[in-house]
Structure 1
Amino acid sequence: MAARSKKSIRVRLIFFISLVTAFGFASFLAVSFIISTQNFERLDKIKNVYFPIFEMSESNAAKLERIAENLATAASTGEMDFIIKAREQAYELSQSIGRLKKIEPDRKRLVEIDRFSESFQVYFNQASKYSQQIASGNVNVASDPEGIIKISDSLQHCRKMLNIFRSYSLKNFQITIENANRSSAIELRLGLIMALVTVILISTGSVVITSGIDVKEQE
């Protein structure tokens, strides 16, 4: 009878250890799956959304500067080829803005992109027309200082809007990477905690059950 009781307790011990181990493994697997899924989504956004947006923002800022330089060169040298180059770059910038709108997930930023697009068109129309008139000799810079000031203000406004958007896109890019790294660190800590809890439960349960065996043997 005592042997049967002892065997029964040992079976319970084996069952308890198996149950706790399975529960600990299943819990870690579930948490790991959730965090890994979230990180996959973050990395997917980095690859297909935030990095392309940041990259295009940088490229658009460079295009804007080249456009301004070409228009200024056309006005100072009288060569129309620089205006043609500026028009080509303006077209590329407009195309880039269109691509940007397709992947930008924030509606508020989409409104800002539209505003920048409108501001850029105003600037480019003013600047290209003015540069063309100066290059052709129809307008003298000294006789129309207000025109230069107006164009300069439009350019500065475009630069300001682009810089704000660039800062926002860079911040989103960095935050998403930080969140992915933080989630990975949390996953590692949770794994260690669950392993420790599992060991404690198994050890405690084993002591309790084996104590029961000793009591039975003494009886």
Structure 2
Amino acid sequence: MAVDFWSPVRLSLEIATVSGILVVIFGLLLGKLMANKKFKGVALVETVFLLPLVLPPSVVGFLLIVVFGRNSPVGRLIESIFKQPLMFTWWAAVIASTVVAFPLMYQSVKTGFEAIDEDIENAARVDGANGYKLFMLVTIPLTFKTIISGAILSFARALGEFGATLMFAGNIPGKTQTIPTAIYVALDSGNMELAWLWVASIVGISFLMLIFVHLMKS
């Protein structure tokens, strides 16, 4: 019972943590790159970034299979390097969670970057700050709350990811079975006690994270 319960919890936290780190890195880089940018096609680029937020998870999973599956050039390249396909692995679950969680982080930090007074950044440049120092010592501190909020919301989204993960990473106990997929299996097999325990765990974790976000904004 204990092993059956804790394995999906541990996997979910591990996958969501790695996914969260990747989302923060790409969210910060692309959010800063796109903030206050005006160029032809900007709407198209932003639509692509935000698309996973509105697409059905099954569609996201299908597209991931098309891009990273064994019959795709990327999939064959990965298999030749690592001697195994990417699908139905721990990293497949990380990629699926990262893709669906990225829009939350991107939109949050981009909004924060756009809210910064340009005079503050210009003053830092006059004082001799280069691009790296400006970003790390001025931009990041000024947008810290939005970064943390975006990171927590992205972590929560990655933790609860189901559809894309099920299609792309499968539901392999001890390997890719996360809390949402474990709940599905427990419910399907009639094990309501175990399903309720997993439901309570993910609701509790998500509730605490959302409370933290609310306290930060207040």
TM range (shorter): under 0.3
Higher helix share: 1
Q: Larger relative CO (CA 8 A, sep 6+): 1 or 2?
A: 1
- Which has more radius of gyration? 1
